[in-house]
Chain A
Amino acid sequence: QKEVEQNSGPLSVPEGAIASLNCTYSDRGSQSFFWYRQYSGKSPELIMFIYSNGDKEDGRFTAQLNKASQYVSLLIRDSQPSDSATYLCAVRDGGTSYGKLTFGQGTILTVHP
């Protein structure tokens, strides 16, 4: 079974710090990688996706992908209390075009003032 593993949490960082969230995946054929944010009591929402090796930046968020190491990460710069949420790493199945995603178990991030 294809697996997606996230670094164990919860993760607590002070306001203004960089939060680093990590994820590894087992299916070497995976092509697309996603980070979802889920606030308590709410549904997940997409915040970043990355397809190519390297970094992708969007505002305070940077996604990093290393396919050789089967590793994807999310960096949140200048963390704010509003970033406190569960972050879910998701990997799209490389063998299908149906858009099926496999999710990691999530990392709870708390940003304290």
Chain B
Amino acid sequence: DVKVTQSSRYLVKRTGEKVFLECVQDMDHENMFWYRQDPGLGLRLIYFSYDVKMKEKGDIPEGYSVSREKKERFSLILESASTNQTSMYLCASNAPGTGELFFGEGSRLTVL
């Protein structure tokens, strides 16, 4: 069974803290994505990666960075968390040329 695993389901952080969200997939997919989901706004792409050490900005990259040192792992980093980054974060992966995204369970981040 295909699996995308996000390390933390729920996090509470303080403004200014550095936050790491980890994602691991076991499907040998080249592409990995980080989305955030907010009520009324749907899923918005933050960053994606199409290969190890390769990354591309999505639609809302400001305040975020990513790391992909190994094919199976894609990390989202909030260098200095702010309250407007309180959201549900979804990691996903897929194979090149396909549109089916496989999502993790999500990480709900609250920044106080």
Residues of A within 8 A of B (CB): 1, 4, 6, 32, 34, 36, 42-46, 49, 88, 90, 92, 97-106
Contacts and interface: CB of A to CB of B under 8 A. Distances in A.
Interface string B29-57: 00101010000111111001010000010
B59 A99 contact: no
Contacts, number: 61
Nearest to A49: B99
Interface in B50-80: 50, 56, 58-59
A11 to B, nearest CB: 15
Top 9 nearest A-B pairs by Cβ distance? Answer: A43-B103, A105-B42, A103-B43, A103-B42, A99-B94, A92-B99, A98-B50, A46-B100, A32-B99
Contact of A101 (B56, B96, B99): B99
A1 B58 CA distance: 11
B97 A97 contact: yes
Contact of A99 (B44, B58, B96): B96
B95 interface: yes
Given A44-B101, A49-B99, A106 B42 contact: yes
B105 interface: yes
Contacts of A100: 31, 33, 45, 48, 58
Nearest to A98: B50
Nearest to A34: B99
B10 to A, nearest CB: 12
Contacts of B35: 103
Interface string B89-112: 010001111111101111000000
Contacts of B56: 98
A101 B101 contact: yes
Most chain B beta-carbon contacts within 10 A, residue among A34, A101, A106: A101
Contacts of A44: 43, 90, 101, 103
B42 A88 contact: yes
A105 B103 contact: no
11 contacts: A1-B59, A4-B42, A43-B104, A43-B105, A44-B43, A44-B101, A46-B100, A49-B99, A98-B96, A99-B94, A101-B99
